[in-house]
Amino acid sequence: MAPLAEVGGANHRFTVNLSILFTELPLLERPAAAAAAGFTDVELWWPWVDAPVPPPAELDALRAALDTAGTRLTGLNFYAGRLPGPDRGALSLPGEESERFRANVDVAASFAASVGCTALNALYGNRVAGVPAAEQDALALDNLALAARAADRIGAVLLVEALNAAESPDYPLVSAPRAVEVVDAVNAATGLDNARFLMDLYHLARNGEDLHRVIDTYTPVTGHVQIADCPGRGAPGTGGLDFADLLGRLTAAGYEGRIGLEYKPGDAPSAAAFGWLTAAPRPLPDA
């Protein structure tokens, strides 16, 4: 693995996903742990997997933990059920789960606004037996438009992500072109042009996509990038992806946004999972 100074350059700011790293700690201790590891930017899946509308005191406590640690929440998922796991997303699921997503939209957006978060990720739901795909897609578009409007009110982008078919066989967005098709549909429906592609290189690699082609083609519509090595979803250097090449190619394609570290730390504590980054200073300067 090349040192960080050679991996994408200083245009990239790395952010730690506190829903997959530092999970050996309680949620409210994770921002301080990330700060102690040298990071100022963090991101989260929706932390309350069974509560799209958590008690205000829990939102206040998370806000205080972020502030006390000196960390910025730069990315947040809308309610998406229990992650990681086979139940991916909620917004295209008829009935209760879709209603839970809709109840969460303004709550998540308001919390994001209160901490300066400018990227909100909305995960599609799995295909449901007995429900026509077109019916689910129409529901998804309505709910994504709702989310995009909420994001626009706080000056944020709405992210649409492709997952991988091996781990999420019933999830309908398992390629970059399919996710970008949804991004385009949301922008056409709202006229806001604030929906963007979340380019997760791990999921795309698991799907067997040509990552060079994805980067070259879709960087202009990309709002966020996440990384983990493949296979295994570990830190860069634990699998077969060449991150010096991939992140350098992102820079060449004009990407100047954040890179989310969304990988499993392995058997060691999460604080030991950043050795591949130690060759350069952190935090990186704002893009």
Judged on CB neighbours under 10 Å (0-12, 13-18, 19+), 95 is exposed
d(CA 281, CA 215) in angstroms, rounded, equals: 26
Question: Among residues 43, 97, 209, 262, which one is catalytic?
Answer: 262
Question: Among residues 161, 167, 209, 256, which one is catalytic?
Answer: 161
Cis peptide before 177 (omega within 30 of 0): no
**Could you tell me whether strands 119-121 and 41-44 are parallel, antiparallel, or unpaired per DSSP bridges?**
unpaired
Question: Is 167 designated active site?
Answer: no
d(CA 99, CA 120) in angstroms, rounded, equals: 18
d(CA 176, CA 99) in angstroms, rounded, equals: 27
For residue 62, the one-letter residue type is L
Q: Side-chain half-sphere of 10: how many Cα atoms within 13 Å?
A: 7
Tokens of 25: 């700690």
d(CA 86, CA 181) in angstroms, rounded, equals: 23
Question: Is 262 designated active site?
Answer: yes
Q: Which residues are catalytic?
A: 161, 262
